[in-house]
Structure 1
Amino acid sequence: MLATYIPLGFEWPLQLCLSVSVVVYFISLPTRNVSQVDRLWTFLPTIYTAYFALLPYWPNEQAFFLAPYTPSALGITPGVYNPRALMMLAIIVTWMCRLSYNTYRRGLFNLKDEDYRWVVLRKQLHPVLFQLTNLVFIAFIQNFLLLGLGVPAYIAATQPPQPLQFRDYFVIGLSLVVLVTEFTADNQQFSFQTFKHTPKRYHEHFQWTGAQISWTAEEAERGFITRGLWAWSRHPNFFCEQSFWWIMNFACLPHVLSPTQLITALRDDSGELGQLGKTFLPSIALSALFFSSTLYTEAITASKYPAYKAYQSRVGMFNPLDTVVKGLRLALFGKRAEVERIVWGKGKSD
């Protein structure tokens, strides 16, 4: 009965998603650590993307539970791969390498490490309510979101194969620019936090080539990073992460959409464009998650560092264009110099 409600081609991904959700939840109970999904975040979207991109490789029958297979009803020709799906897999493997390195460097692969936001949330909620949040959101909703990030590869893999076009090479270039920018933001954050918490361990090699910043004792005392890419966005890494998955959503479309067609795709459930409009749901959900979680993160940060509210008033949360607008607005009311003195000390130098 349940199988009739599962989209064709999602049988195996749903098996894996539900299994992982159950496992991470039950591991979190005795360990009192709910960051298990955080440690898998870097791998699961790549696994789902690889499954869809390699649909022509898998057998048509499942040998055993959790063994990948391609239902024959999906109509995939064995051995005939979609170049665009393979391209997306290569890009997402590159994404995985960047995120895995940053996760390793921050120590999150340590099974005893837990994201500080979960620690704060545990103190704020009643134990029963926290465990409900753990079960519903942390263990299950996040895992289904990670499954959703593989949907663009599914859309690409189930289209008629055709050679890569100019727009595909544009996607490759744009994706790499976004990933390099995100890695630079991560690197600047890591070097600042190292300087702030363990100045004796700090060394310039912590910084990405071309993005070196000489941190000061004043900045360490302020408590949060405000220079480099962080002078243009309060969360440049989050901005890049969202941008990356939106690029993947557009990459899977069979042809370039005009603005009018895109609006139609998002509004209409009928027809080719209407069906493709559903592929944007994972990116919409991811952006909603980043927005809500960032609000919570910033509430914690603002409670620790008095100057953070000035930073919020001067620099945009994600979009650098918002930073420009904020600067003009503060200048209009004659407050820009004072706010920038709080945010950047003697002045913005990056």
Structure 2
Amino acid sequence: MTALAVCLALCAAITAATWILSVVTKEYSWVDRIWSIAPVAYVWVFAVSSGFDARLVLMAALVTAWGARLTFNFARKGGYRPGGEDYRWSILRGRMPRLGFAAFNLFFISIYQNALILLITLPASTVADAGGSPLGVWDAVLALVFLAFLVGETVADEQQWRFHAWKASERAAGRTPTPGFLQSGLFAVSRHPNFFFEQAQWWVFYGFAIAATGVWLHWSIAGAVLLTLLFIGSTVFTESISRGRHPGYDAYRARVSAIVPWFPRPARAEASVAVDR
């Protein structure tokens, strides 16, 4: 079997397993639980199949670092524990009819998202098909940029982790946390910096296909494009929840870029915007 065939078979098995587990357990975060693990396996399949081509090994090492960070962050938030379902799924279930959500679970959560997880790794297929070529300056640049984005996402997640720990301590002390959502650090220049860095890493990953071939456009760009579209939809849905929970969120939205970090706009004089400590 070719490396791509192995990955397709593995993806089909994971898709079936995550859907069956979601039906049996009535928890719908099984794809979330393998999101940081499956890409590592897929890219290493290509690296091993190539006879450990230097570029593919570099790509696999970077994805392994990405997966380790994401797995750690997901685990410390309780994502792997029973009941560790993403809170947004329960909200979405309440907004959809039962059969509608069942279809959504099968076709979007299980099939589409698992296909997307495979797609974002397939620049490795383009690199493998290009044949072995020596690493160059652009590979070094891409690796450094990937690692910079990895650090950025780590910082964003740590800031979010500490903020939610502070909120929990405030509630435990009988106080109402104010503000109710994070607005400082990286969240002062992007409402979702972790979303930005996550997408950016996979666009850089696609860059290795360009470095290997010298051609800018390949079919394997589809993964990065579809991932960006997924995050746009996720941002809209997540913010619809935040706007209902936090009265000051619209003022925050008016000031701060949605995803791409950028200079915040001045607050309106009549708006009173709380600043996170």
- Give the TM bin, normalised by the shorter chain: over 0.9
Structure 1 residue 337: Cα displacement = 4.1
The residue number in structure 2 matching 1:269 is none
Structure 1 residue 343: Cα displacement = 4.2
* 2:239 counterpart letter in structure 1: E
Structure 2: distance between partners of 1:37 and 1:179: 21
The residue number in structure 2 matching 1:69 is none
| Secondary structure in structure 2 of the residue aligned to 1:320 | coil
Structure 1 residue 247: Cα displacement = 0.2
Q: CA RMSD in A?
A: 2.3
The residue number in structure 2 matching 1:114 is 85
Structure 2: distance between partners of 1:90 and 1:312: 37
Larger Cα-atom Rg: 1
Structure 2: distance between partners of 1:84 and 1:343: 47
| Secondary structure in structure 1 of the residue aligned to 2:130 | coil
Structure 2: distance between partners of 1:338 and 1:243: 36
* 2:1 corresponds to 1:14: no
The residue number in structure 2 matching 1:172 is 143
Report matched runs for 1:122-201 at 5 Å.
122-199=93-170
Structure 1 residue 198: Cα displacement = 2.7
Structure 2: distance between partners of 1:196 and 1:296: 23
Structure 1 residue 116: Cα displacement = 0.3
Q: 2:194 aligns with which of 229, 234, 237?
A: 237
The residue number in structure 1 matching 2:232 is 291
- Tell me, which stretches of 5 or more residues in structure 2 are unaligned? none
> Cα deviations across residues 256-277 of structure 1 (Å, max 9, x unaligned)?
86xxx74xx3xxxxxxxxxx2x
* 2:272 corresponds to 1:344: no
Structure 2: distance between partners of 1:54 and 1:150: 15
* 2:26 counterpart letter in structure 1: R
Q: How many percent identity over aligned positions?
A: 33
Size of the aligned set, in residue pairs, is 276
The residue number in structure 2 matching 1:95 is 66
* 1:230 counterpart letter in structure 2: F
Structure 1 residue 155: Cα displacement = 1.3
* 2:270 corresponds to 1:313: no
The residue number in structure 2 matching 1:62 is none
Structure 2: distance between partners of 1:36 and 1:111: 11
Structure 1 residue 254: Cα displacement = 3.8
The residue number in structure 1 matching 2:44 is 50
The residue number in structure 2 matching 1:40 is 34
> Cα deviations across residues 32-78 of structure 1 (Å, max 9, x unaligned)?
1011111100101111111111113xxxxxxxxxxxxxxxxxxxxxx
> If the length of structure 2 is used for normalisation, what is the TM-score?
0.93
> Cα deviations across residues 293-329 of structure 1 (Å, max 9, x unaligned)?
11000001110111001110100111123x44xx1xx
- Tell me, which stretches of 5 or more residues in structure 1 are unaligned? 57-78, 203-216, 266-275
Which fold has the larger relative contact order, with Cα–Cα distance below 8 Å and residues 6 or more apart in sequence? Answer: 2
The residue number in structure 2 matching 1:208 is none
> If the length of structure 1 is used for normalisation, what is the TM-score?
0.74
Structure 1 residue 291: Cα displacement = 0.5
Report matched runs for 1:327-342 at 5 Å.
327=265, 336-339=268-271, 341-342=272-273
| Secondary structure in structure 1 of the residue aligned to 2:161 | helix
Structure 1 residue 29: Cα displacement = 1.4
* C-alpha contact 1:53 1:86 (8 A) present in aligned 2: yes
The residue number in structure 1 matching 2:223 is 282
Structure 1 residue 157: Cα displacement = 2.1
* 2:64 counterpart letter in structure 1: V
| Secondary structure in structure 1 of the residue aligned to 2:182 | coil
